[in-house]
A and B are shown apart, each in its own frame.
Chain A
Amino acid sequence: MLEDRLLLWKFKHGSRDAFRVIYEKYAGDMLTLAGNLLDDKVGAEDIVQDVFIKLVESIGTFRLTGSLKSYLATCVANRSRDCIRKRIRQRNAMAKQAEKTPAGTKSTVHMAICSEQLQKLSNAMTKLPYEQREAIALRIHGDLRFRQIAELQNVSTKTVQSRYRYGLNKLRSTLNGEVEK
C-alpha cells in the first residue's frame, strides 16, 4: 500500500519509471479481470489500456482512497459493463443477422490455460449470469471486498455474497459434470 502511494507520488512528480512499475505490477491482474468479465481478449486489452490512460490523464488530481488495485479493478469493472451494454445494443440492432450466424463461430478466448479442467472452467464462467461472473471476478481477481462489489453493483452485500456463492456452485457443478437445471 505504501509502495503504491510512493509510486503514485513519484509518478505525479514526473517519473515515467514509477508509472512503468505501476503498470507492470497491475496490468496482468487487470487484463485477467477484464478477460474474465468480457470473455474477449482484445476487448480486455482495450479496457486495460483505457483504464491506465485514464489514470495518466487524471494523475494531477488523483488521490488514492483505498488500494490502488481496488481502484483499478473498479475502473475495469465499470468499463467492462459499458462495453457489454454496448454489445447488447449492437446485438439487438443486428438481431436478424445474429440469428443467421452459425453456431461455433463465437470467438474463443485465448487464455493461458494449460489444463482441460481450466478450459472447462473458463467456458463455464462465460455461461454464468453477468452479475455472478462479475462478483466472482472482482472478488478473486480484483481482490475487492464484498462491500465494495455491492457498492459497484448497487445492491446489498448479502446479494453480492449470494451471487458469489451461486456462481461458485454452478461452476463446481459444471466441473463435476452435473446437469444444470
Chain B
Amino acid sequence: MRPSENIEKLIKKLRYKTSPETHDRVLGNVLQALDEKEKQKPGVFVPDTWRTIMKSKITRMAAAAVIIIAVFVGIHQFGGDGASVAFADIVEQLANARTMTYSVVTRTPVESMPTLRLQMAFKEPGYMRTTTVDGYINVIDWNQNKGITLWPPKQECIDFEASNYQHDTVQDPFIVVEKLRTLPDQADEALGEKEIDGRVLEGFRVTQGDMINTVWVDSQTTQLVRVEIEYTNSPGMNTIMTDFQFNAELDDSLFSLVPPEGFTRLEVQADVSTVTEQDLIAYLQMWSTWTKDGTFPPTFNPIELPKVTAEMIKQGKFGEGETSQQERHAEATLMYRGIMFVTQLPAESNWRYAGENVSYGDAETPIFWYQPTGSQTYHVIYGDLSVKDVAPEDLPK
C-alpha cells in the first residue's frame, strides 16, 4: 500500500451486498411486521405528551424564521400604497422626523388568526425595529438589506441578509415612511371631530385600492394620534396604529445587528435574484413536514403568519424533533428563499395563497397561483406540489 493511499477510501469499498432474493425476503419480513402493526393500530398517531412543543428546536426556529420573513416582506402598516395623511402639519412632522415609534394592532375576524400586537421603531438612515408581545425582536438595516431576529427568552437569534433585493415602493416599510414624508394632500373625506380616549380628534379618510385609511389628529396639537386601516377585501380585519412619537431619543444599541453575548446564532442568506418557484415549492413541502397533519402554512400574510405560527406551536400542531445547527441553517435558508420568491413577485402577478388547511398530497386543491411576468397563463401549484399552467378564466374563484 502506498503511503499516500487513503485507507479510509479503501475501507469505504468494503461493501456487503445481499442477493436479490435475500433483499426481498428481508424487506418482505419488515413489511409483514408493518401489516401486523397496522392490524393492531389502524394508523393512529400517538401524541407526544412527554415534553412540550416549545422545546422543539424545529418549531422554535420556524417561528423565529417566520418573524424574520414577516418583517422583511414588509409590514404594511400604512397600507400597500402608503396611507394618505392629508394635512401639512402631519407631513411636516414626518418630514422632520429622525425617529418614529408607534404601536400597531391587527385584528381579524378569523378565529385561527389571533390578534397581532407590535411595537415599531424607525430611525434614520434606514433602521427598523419591531418587537412582539411574544418577545421576538427584529432589527433591519434597510440600507444594507441585513437584519437580525432575536428571541431573548430562548437566547436564540438569526442573522439574515438578502443580496440583490429590489426595493419596492409598495413592499418596503421604510420606503412607505418615506412616502408619507412627501405625501401631497390627498385626503378625500373630512370626518370632522370626534372624541376618542378622552381626546378630541379630527379625522380624515383616504381610500386607496382595497384599503380605507382613517387618520386621527389631535385638533389642539396637530399631533398624529391614530391611524385605522380597513381592508375591503378582508371584511372584519383591521389595523390600528397608536402611540406615535416623533424624534424620540432612540439609542443606536436598539438597532444593533450584533447578537447579544451568549445567544445561539443562525445565519441565513439569499441572493434574491436567484430565487425561483422551486424555492417556494421546497418551502411549502418543508412546512408540511413540520406540521403533524401535513398541512401547509395557514397564511402568507406577513402580519398574521408570525402570530399564527406561535399559536400553532402552543396548540401542539408541529411535530417534535430536534435538529442540528447545520440542519437548522439549511431549513432557515430554504424557508427564507421560498418566501422571498413571493415577496419579489410584482403586484401585477396577482399572486394568491390558498393553502390553509390543505395537506400535502392533495392533488386536486390549488394552494398558490400567480401570473409570471410576460405570461398569458397562471402558474398554479396544487396540494401535491405539482404545477400547471392555467388560463385566467379557469382560476379558482
A and B part of one assembly: yes
**Residue ranges of A at the interface with B (Cβ–Cβ < 8 Å):** 1-2, 5-6, 9-10, 12-14, 16, 19-20, 23, 27-28, 31-32, 34-36, 41, 44-45, 48-49, 52-53, 56-57, 60-61, 63-66, 109, 111-113, 117-118, 121-122, 125, 136, 140-141, 168, 171-172, 175-176
* B277-296 near A? 1/0 per residue, CB < 8 Å: 00000100110110000100
| CB-contact partner of A172 in B1, B33, B324, B331, under 8 A | B1
Compute how far the CA of A36 lies from the CA of B324 in the bound complex, rounded to whole angstroms.
28
Interface of A is mostly: helix
B16 engages A60 (CB within 8 Å): no
Kindly state the separation between the CA atoms of A34 and B26 in the bound complex, as whole angstroms.
15
For the complex, give the distance between the alpha carbons of A6 and B359 in Å.
13
Q: Chain B residues near A52 (CB, 8 Å)?
A: 26, 30
CA distance A5 to B322 in the complex (A): 12
The answer to whether B7 has its CB under 8 Å from any CB of chain A is yes
Tell me whether A63 and B48 are in contact in the complex, defined as CB-CB below 8 angstroms, given that A1-B330, A2-B289, A57-B37 are known contacts. yes
Q: Once bound together, how far apart are the Cα atoms of A155 and B13, in whole Å?
A: 28
Contact A9 B288 (CB under 8 A): yes
Report which of B11, B38, B320 forms a contact with A63, defined as CB distance below 8 A: B320
With A31-B16, A44-B16, A111-B15 as known contacts, state yes or no: A9 contacts B289, CB within 8 Å.
yes
Can you list 13 pairs linking A and B with CB atoms under 8 Å apart?
A: A2-B282, A9-B289, A19-B31, A36-B14, A45-B22, A60-B41, A60-B44, A63-B320, A65-B323, A141-B11, A141-B14, A168-B8, A171-B11
Q: For residue A93, give the distance in angstroms from its CB to the closest CB of chain B.
A: 29
Counting chain B CB atoms within 10 Å of each CB, the highest count among A52, A113, A176 belongs to A52
Q: Is A140 touching B8 in the complex (CB atoms < 8 A)?
A: yes
B143 to chain A, nearest CB (A): 34
Given known A6-B289, A27-B23, A63-B321, contact A168–B7 (CB-CB < 8 A): yes
Would you call A63 and B331 a contact (CB within 8 A)? no
Query: B23-55, CB under 8 A of A: which get 1 and which 0?
Result: 100110111011001100101111010000000
| Beta-carbon contact of A140 and B26 below 8 Å | no
Residues of A within 8 A of B41 (CB): 60
Across the interface, which residues of A come within 8 angstroms of B282, CB to CB?
Answer: 2
Q: Which of B10, B16, B29, B322 contacts A53 (CB under 8 A)?
A: B29
Residue of A nearest to B38 (CB): A14
Contact B34 A56 (CB under 8 A): yes
Task: Give the docked Cα–Cα distance between A19 and B29 (Å).
Answer: 13
In this complex, the interface size class of chain B, counting residues with CB under 8 Å from chain A, is 35 or more
0/1 per residue, B352-385, Cβ < 8 Å to A? 0000000011000000000000000000000000
Number of A-B contacts (CB under 8 A): 123
Task: Please state if A65 and B289 are interface contacts (CB–CB under 8 Å).
Answer: no
Nearest B residue (CB) for A141: B12
Q: Is the CB of A9 within 8 A of B34?
A: no
Known: A9-B289, A66-B323. A28 touches B17 (CB 8 A): yes
Q: Is the CB of B34 within 8 A of A16?
A: yes
Q: In the assembled complex, which residues on chain B have CB atoms less than 8 Å from the CB atom of A168?
A: 7-8
Rounded to whole angstroms, the CA-CA distance of A109 and B31 in the bound complex is 27
- Chain B: which residue is nearest A46 at the CB level? B26
Do residues B48 and A19 form an inter-chain contact, with CB atoms below 8 A?
no
Given A117-B1, A171-B7, answer yes or no on A57-B46 (Cβ-Cβ < 8 Å). no
B199 to A: closest C-beta gap in Å: 53
Answer yes or no: B327 CB below 8 A from chain A CBs.
Answer: yes
CA distance A168 to B327 in the complex (A): 30
Tell me if A23 and B27 are in contact (CB < 8 A). yes
B29 touching A49, Cβ below 8 Å = yes
Residues from chain B with Cβ under 8 Å of A175 in the complex: 1, 7, 10
Query: 10 shortest A-B CB distances, which residue pairs?
Result: A35-B16, A63-B320, A175-B1, A63-B321, A112-B17, A53-B33, A5-B289, A52-B30, A32-B16, A65-B322
The closest CB in chain B to the CB of A42 belongs to B22
Contact flag A65-B321 (CB < 8 Å), given A49-B30, A112-B17, A172-B1: yes
Identify which of residues 311-356 in chain B touch chain A, using a CB-to-CB cut-off of 8 Å. 319-324, 327, 330-331, 334
Which of B12, B30, B48 has the most chain A CB atoms closer than 10 A to its own CB? B30
Q: Does B274 reach chain A (CB closer than 8 Å)?
A: no
Which residues of the other chain, A, contact B37 by a CB distance below 8 angstroms? 56-57
In the docked arrangement, what's the CA distance between A53 and B45, Å?
18
Cα(A52)–Cα(B29), bound, Å? 10
Contact B320 A32 (CB under 8 A): no
| A2 touching B17 in the complex, CB below 8 Å, given contacts A117-B10, A176-B1 | no
User: Quick check: A121 and B11 within 8 Å, CB to CB?
Assistant: yes
Q: With A23-B30, A63-B48 known to touch, is A1 a contact of B17 (CB < 8 Å)?
A: no
A37: shortest Cβ distance to chain B, in Å?
11
Asked if A61 contacts B322 (CB within 8 A), the reply is no
A30 (CB) vs chain B CBs: closest residue: B16
Task: Determine the chain A residues whose CB is within 8 A of the CB of B320 once the complex forms.
Answer: 63
Please determine whether B18 and A45 come into contact, CB atoms closer than 8 angstroms: yes
**Interface 0/1 of B227-248, CB less than 8 Å to A:** 0000000000000000000000
